[in-house]
Chain A
Amino acid sequence: MGRAGAYAGAAVGGLTAMTATVDTAALTAWLQEFAREISAGKDLLTRLDSAIGDADHGVNMDRGMTAVLAATRDETPATPAELLKRTGMTLVSRVGGASGPLYGTAFLRMATAAGDAGSLDARGFAKVLRAGLDGVVARGKAEAGDKTMYDALAPAVDALDAALDAGQGLDEALRAAVRAAEEGRDATTAMIARKGRASYLGERSAGHQDPGATSVTMLMTAAATALPGEA
């Protein structure tokens, strides 16, 4: 984890202008922070998944993110796209279940959206994140209210855009995105699942927070923690 600090420091140190620079090192710090959140929240995710799914979301995501850290540690990717692609491929190859294709597709779409840029500004990062959301929709065919990761991710991406439109810096905008994700996550508790294994429970799925919406909130929290703000 000392390395995460070094990366984050390098990213912040690299700032020269008034705009945030999300480069490969900053994105690596984001993924490391996400891995830490997943690892710390593994039991919570598994407990949530036992109630309405099959009790493996925490274990699967932890296995996937551990593999992502290993895959990006030894050979540092040169561009954001390369890092995001390697992350997506690793998640598809290691996670399984529904989370593997969904998170994997999200990161692969993010990679495509990042293009060959060496670093992203705040707008660029928001665009990349929205491409990830579109990937989740394309792969999982989820809609609002289905009680899935979409219910936290979609409002977070919308809030990020809205905050940037209102002239906020990336750090402030990411905090708004986290709040929106948390609200979206909390709103899944009352929902009746229409996708995934939870949908088999019908009305019995109500009263339980969705594990996917919970892990995707961790992804946003990790972004707010690890990505640089304005100088």
Chain B
Amino acid sequence: MNKLINDPANVVSDALRGIAAAHPELHVDHENQIVRRGDAPVRGKVGLVSGGGSGHEPLHAGFVGPGMLDAACAGEVFTSPVPDQIVAATTAVDGGAGVLHVVKNYTGDVMNFEMAAELAEAETGVAVVAVVTDDDVAVQDSLYTAGRRGVGVTVLLEKIAGAAADQGRPLAEVADVARRVNANGRSMGVALTSCTVPAAGKPTFDLPDGQMELGIGIHGEPGRRRVPAAPAAEIAEMLLTPILADLDFTGGSGVIAFVNGMGATPQLELYLMYHEVAEILGKAGITVARSLVGSYITSLDMAGCSVTLLRADDDILRLWDAPVRTPALRWGA
């Protein structure tokens, strides 16, 4: 394992020190492992709190700032944050209008955020609404699974709901926007390599050359199927086919198309993939209204990518275009 670390046990806290040094506009609470806007709480604005295991950077700390999140809770690597952290973040950003929790559908994240919401409401009276993302079409949503995972759509949701909160919409409306984004977004991912969790020191799974894992999440867990490696054009088909089968993306105001790198895939390959995705969407009669290409929700040093499509309406597109000023996403401001 060749990594830029000091001690595997301190990876998260050491990284938070770097965030604090690089972004003086953010406030880092090292004890609780929380990153929040330096000017939080913003009076009268709904606060947006997200969080999850570390290792998915820039998600979530990289999306803290005006127009997006008010605070992010960093768990240990691939481990959800604990309720104390989430409660501390929630009370720190409550500007009197309540707080929206953005939670990815993983058993641990859901349970810790649930406990935190109960505690925050009981102890401080902050109104909390949680929206759970579950956009991964690789997982069957049935009685026999924990439901679909929350993956790429989380990034788009944090931007769009963040803009809605910035406009001064009340908690119920911000939550509605967030649910609308989740309901209209679908994702699918592929791994070309495993990732290496610092504390484990070796790759989570063995993936021989010439093989890839189709239908992965973001925690280095193996995918739904192992398949032979294929050219990018075929991979794009494999990712888009289940997405397009799950939801009708034609019509409306078009889609936001998001090609996301898993951490170790260069921008060169991501743009190459985006081209293949755009070709397929064009042939399927789907209009791309906006696009995003880059590594925004990652799985440490995993190579591979995911594709997310969000069926947009005019409100969603306006919120997407609204100014945002965070370390990892920034425009119009």
Q: How far is the CA of A60 from the CA of B115 in the complex (A)?
A: 18
The answer to whether A102 has its CB under 8 Å from any CB of chain B is yes
The answer to whether A101 has its CB under 8 Å from any CB of chain B is yes
Q: Are B217 and A197 in contact (CB under 8 A)?
A: yes
The answer to whether A139 has its CB under 8 Å from any CB of chain B is yes
Instruction: Name the contact of A54 in the complex, choosing from B114, B143, B145, B221 (C-beta under 8 A).
Output: B221
> Knowing A50-B204, A197-B107 touch, does A100 contact B82 (C-beta < 8 A)?
yes
Binds A, one of B71-79, B245-253, B290-298: B71-79
0/1 per residue, B202-233, Cβ < 8 Å to A? 00110000000000010111101000000000
Q: How many pairs of residues, A versus B, come closer than 8 Å at their CB atoms?
A: 108
The answer to whether B111 has its CB under 8 Å from any CB of chain A is yes
The answer to whether B200 has its CB under 8 Å from any CB of chain A is yes
The answer to whether B199 has its CB under 8 Å from any CB of chain A is yes
0/1 per residue, B280-298, Cβ < 8 Å to A? 0000000000000000000
The answer to whether B112 has its CB under 8 Å from any CB of chain A is yes
The answer to whether B84 has its CB under 8 Å from any CB of chain A is yes
Q: What's the least CB distance linking B108 to chain A, in Å?
A: 4
0/1 per residue, A193-213, Cβ < 8 Å to B? 011110111101000000000
Instruction: Name the contact of A56 in the complex, choosing from B82, B138, B199, B205 (C-beta under 8 A).
Output: B199
The answer to whether A76 has its CB under 8 Å from any CB of chain B is no
Query: B residues within 8 A CB of A5?
Result: none
Instruction: Name the contact of B82 in the complex, choosing from A53, A59, A94 (C-beta under 8 A).
Output: A94
Q: How far is the CA of A63 from the CA of B143 in the complex (A)?
A: 32
The answer to whether A97 has its CB under 8 Å from any CB of chain B is yes
CB under 8 Å from chain A, chain B span 248-298: none
Which B-chain residue is minimally distant from A99 (CB atoms)?
A: B108
Q: Are A101 and B146 in contact (CB under 8 A)?
A: no
> Knowing A54-B78, A94-B82 touch, does A202 contact B204 (C-beta < 8 A)?
no
Query: A residues within 8 A CB of B317?
Result: none
Query: B residues within 8 A CB of A52?
Result: 221
The answer to whether A189 has its CB under 8 Å from any CB of chain B is no
Q: How far is the CA of A12 from the CA of B81 in the complex (A)?
A: 40
Interface of A is mostly: helix
Q: Are A55 and B146 in contact (CB under 8 A)?
A: no
The answer to whether B83 has its CB under 8 Å from any CB of chain A is yes
0/1 per residue, B127-154, Cβ < 8 Å to A? 0000000000011100111100100000
Query: B residues within 8 A CB of A98?
Result: 80, 107-108, 111
Q: How far is the CA of A42 from the CA of B314 in the complex (A)?
A: 52
> Knowing A200-B145, A200-B146 touch, does A140 contact B82 (C-beta < 8 A)?
no
The answer to whether A46 has its CB under 8 Å from any CB of chain B is yes
CB under 8 Å from chain B, chain A span 64-104: 92-102
The answer to whether B48 has its CB under 8 Å from any CB of chain A is no
Q: Are A139 and B76 in contact (CB under 8 A)?
A: no
Q: What's the least CB distance linking B144 to chain A, in Å?
A: 5
Instruction: Name the contact of A101 in the complex, choosing from B115, B143, B197 (C-beta under 8 A).
Output: B115
Which B-chain residue is minimally distant from A43 (CB atoms)?
A: B200
Instruction: Name the contact of A197 in the complex, choosing from B111, B219, B224 (C-beta under 8 A).
Output: B219
The answer to whether B320 has its CB under 8 Å from any CB of chain A is no
Q: Are B83 and A92 in contact (CB under 8 A)?
A: yes
Q: Are A54 and B82 in contact (CB under 8 A)?
A: no
Contacts A46-B199, A54-B220, A55-B197 aside, 6 further interface pairs with beta carbons under 8 A come to A54-B53, A55-B200, A94-B82, A95-B82, A96-B76, A101-B114
B residues adjacent to A (C-beta < 8 A): 53, 75-84, 106-108, 111-112, 114-115, 138-140, 143-146, 149, 197, 199-200, 204-205, 217, 219-222, 224
A residues adjacent to B (C-beta < 8 A): 46, 50, 52-56, 59-60, 63, 92-102, 139-140, 192, 194-197, 199-202, 204
